[in-house]
Amino acid sequence: MRKWVKYVIVGIIVAGGAAGWVYRELLPSRHFEEKEHPVVAVPAADLPASAEVSAAAGQPEAAAEKPETGTQEKADPGAFNVLVLGLDTLGRQSSRSDVIMLSRVKPQERKVNLVSIPRDTRVPLPGIGLTKVNHAHFMAELKGGGEAGTEASIQAVSNLLQVPVHYYVKMNFKGFVDFIDEIGGVDIDIPADVFLTAIQQNLPAGRQHLDGWKALAFVRERYSLDNGDFGRQADQSALIRAVVHKLLSPERLPELPGLIQKIKKDVIDTNLTDSDILSLTLMYKDLMPEDMVYVQLPGAALTAQDPLVGQPLWYWEPDLPAVRSIGSQYLR
């Protein structure tokens, strides 16, 4: 056998072994079990069921002591909570959080619980009072920039559900559109006809190819869906799965590290590392529908005076005892 052939064979074996080692290290059950998760927010002391707040401060009367960063619940080792925020901006103006979802990721079980929080949910914000949860990002960003907006949103959700938050993913719509176009769009199965209000276009049932703008309109649509926000949440999950399958396709796989860098630069702000994102991508690829539990925030519609705009607004008033029960059952 010629030497160059031997070298090629050895190179293939080494490359294959290295690839296998990387894959094993990125297996979600292994990667996250050995990782000490950060804690970016812990809840303030439990609020009374009536959601009463101090009129003077507009915030809970007491706060729980914050545990040291890196602490992890012993009951569910390796599991963690990720807050996903989608901002309603296509430029550099101050923005509200249009999409708010808190996910409990369980790598050992390969399961995910998703709790969707309506953007109109009425919550107490420090120094403001009872207002919409998506005002947390807007008001804090006005005063302290994007990082302050992120922190305020994370804390508001942690307080509402009375659970810690370990990671966050914040995305802007402009970056989302550009990224979908960058990977050549995505193919997705639409179970029923849906009218995309944002672009005034009907999307027929069946296999559809979505470019960036259609994908954005699809994940934001709720008005034409029979089950509203719950249906939108399922559509968002389906699109994420379509993106993951596109990224892990053979022709895209070599580009994956560069694409993740592009995602972190142009699409999202996150405290997840590159290896965390790769590991979650591998996990999400193999998830079946039954591996994901979707939970809507219980409550009722309410019209009440808003302290920011000085006039009545429509709210989603959370049923706090039921909300805390959801936090304990699905997010711990």
Helix axes 173-182, 212-220, angle to 10 degrees: 130
**Rounded average pLDDT over 296-321:** 94
How do residues 125-141 score in pLDDT, each as one tens digit?
999 999 999 999 999 99
How do residues 235-247 score in pLDDT, each as one tens digit?
887 888 888 888 8
**Torsion sign over Cα 69, 73, 78, 84:** negative
How do residues 185-229 score in pLDDT, each as one tens digit?
999 999 899 999 999 999 999 999 999 999 999 988 988 888 777
Look at residue 274 and tell me whether its pLDDT is greater than 80.
Answer: yes
**Rounded average pLDDT over 90-102:** 72
The DSSP string of 279-326 is HHHHHHHT--GGGEEEEEPPEEEEEEEETTTTEEEEEEEE-HHHHHHH
How do residues 2-48 score in pLDDT, each as one tens digit?
544 444 343 433 333 333 434 456 788 888 887 889 999 999 875 54
CATH class in words for 32-330: alpha beta
pLDDT of residue 94: 55
Question: What is the rounded distance in angstroms from the CA atom of residue 50 to the CA atom of residue 37?
Answer: 33
**Rounded average pLDDT over 230-238:** 80
pLDDT of residue 77: 72
Q: 257: part of which helix (H) or strand (E)?
A: helix 256-262
**Torsion sign over Cα 64, 70, 74, 79:** positive
The pLDDT mean for the chain works out to: 81
pLDDT of residue 264: 83
How do residues 40-91 score in pLDDT, each as one tens digit?
999 987 554 444 443 333 444 444 444 444 444 445 678 999 999 988 766 5
